[in-house]
């Protein structure tokens, strides 16, 4: 047993080393300006254009990246093993793992997604630095790379230029896109995206430059050794529960937005597109499952018309606004939302 434990620990170590105001809206607009189609300044909500777009005819055979396949297999096997260690973990370690899950999630949802990908609100330097560090805990590529891929996902949603095109199946959208070489359209059309705001952001630049070192420290070392030195947890259990299991769960919660939320659920805002309202995904991904709304109004900081409902990320951003760290939160007026639902929605929303 000890040999098995040591082998697993060694393999996974190699793997990870390598790999408030309650509600507020924008300033009121003149009635004449309000329509059921609000423009997104990043050009990511061109739904009518996307519906007419067709996949490239030059889809080449997928080239498997075997290194990634092996790494993800080992990671998920280690995560399954970690589940059996949970009963042996101290309760403080379990609470610590939940906190690390939440911090990692905020680094993706409030940080890389809503702040940097969509510019749906603005953040002062302390909050931007905090979210960039939380993003390192999530270990899902740097803010720059994550935001670049996400902008491509919105601008070319469900075409071959979408990095995780859901029309290629659940497995591809969930994890398969990370196991193969990128489609040529992803690279070609990704080059025309305007990323100047990301390139000119000193926080994004610093994080991108020091990403590997920060990940080693914030995703692996600190989560492992805080339980060991503060309340006497076993380093072995701490590593597997607070690092391996937590990391794998956050990864899959994020991936569910790309897969499940593009396949199952209601489409009350635009029934012509596949992104859907999926409450299970919202629960796992701290509010990112209101996906039909998000693809129609990607510049809404809440990604939903329902405020705090199943949306821990919106609660966090609103709390930061109350503390003076977040401002200029962009919110779609309710009459605009209703007009869009009447025009293109399925009328089947039931939250």
In the predicted model, is pLDDT for residue 241 greater than 70? yes
Residue 175 to residues 74, 164, 171, 275, Cα–Cα distance (Å): 14, 8, 6, 17
Domain spans in the chain, listed from the N-terminal domain onward: 2-16+61-344
Q: For residue range 269-300, what is the model confidence (pLDDT) as tens digits?
A: 999 999 999 999 999 999 999 999 999 999 99
pTM of the model: 0.85
Q: For residue range 10-51, what is the model confidence (pLDDT) as tens digits?
A: 444 544 444 433 333 333 333 334 454 555 555 555 544 444
pLDDT of the residue at 180: 95
Scanning the structure block, which residue is given the tokens 């390192």? 136
Integer-rounded Cα radius of gyration of the chain: 21
Question: What gap in Å lies between CA 168 and CA 158, rounded to an integer?
Answer: 8
Q: For residue range 83-121, what is the model confidence (pLDDT) as tens digits?
A: 999 999 999 999 999 999 999 999 999 999 999 999 999
pLDDT of the residue at 26: 33
């Amino acid at each position: 047993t000890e040999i098995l434990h040591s082998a697993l620990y060694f393999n996974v170590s190699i793997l990870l080393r390598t790999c408030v105001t309650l509600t507020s809206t924008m300033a009121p607009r003149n009635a004449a300006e309000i329509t059921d189609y609000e423009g997104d300044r990043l050009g990511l909500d061109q739904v009518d254009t996307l519906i007419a777009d067709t996949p490239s005819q030059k889809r080449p055979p997928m080239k498997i990246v075997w290194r990634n396949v092996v790494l993800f297999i080992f990671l998920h096997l280690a995560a399954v093993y970690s589940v059996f260690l949970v009963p042996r973990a101290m309760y403080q370690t379990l609470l610590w793992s939940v906190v690390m899950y939440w911090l990692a999630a905020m680094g993706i949802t409030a940080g890389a997604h809503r702040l940097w990908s969509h510019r749906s609100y603005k953040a002062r330097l302390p909050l931007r630095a905090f979210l960039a560090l939380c993003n390192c805990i999530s270990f899902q590529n740097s803010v720059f790379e994550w935001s670049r891929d996400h902008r491509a996902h919105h601008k070319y949603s469900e075409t071959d230029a979408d990095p995780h095109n859901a029309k290629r199946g659940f497995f591809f959208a969930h994890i398969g896109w990370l196991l193969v070489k990128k489609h040529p359209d992803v690279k070609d059309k990704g080059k025309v995206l305007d990323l100047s705001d990301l390139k000119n952001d000193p926080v994004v630049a610093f994080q991108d430059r020091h990403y590997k070192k920060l990940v080693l420290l914030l995703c692996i070392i600190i989560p492992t050794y805080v339980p060991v030195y503060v309340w006497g947890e076993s380093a072995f259990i701490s590593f597997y529960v607070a690092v391996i299991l937590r990391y794998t769960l956050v990864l899959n919660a994020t991936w569910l937005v790309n897969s499940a939320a593009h396949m199952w659920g209601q489409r009350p805002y635009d029934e012509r597109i596949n992104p859907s309202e999926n409450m299970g995904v919202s629960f796992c991904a701290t509010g990112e499952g209101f996906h039909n709304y998000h693809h129609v109004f990607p510049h809404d900081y809440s990604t939903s018309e329902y405020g705090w409902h199943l949306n821990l990320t919106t609660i966090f951003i609103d709390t930061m606004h109350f503390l003076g760290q977040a401002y200029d939160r962009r919110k779609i007026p309710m009459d605009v939302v209703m007009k869009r639902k009447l025009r293109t929605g399925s009328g089947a929303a039931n939250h």
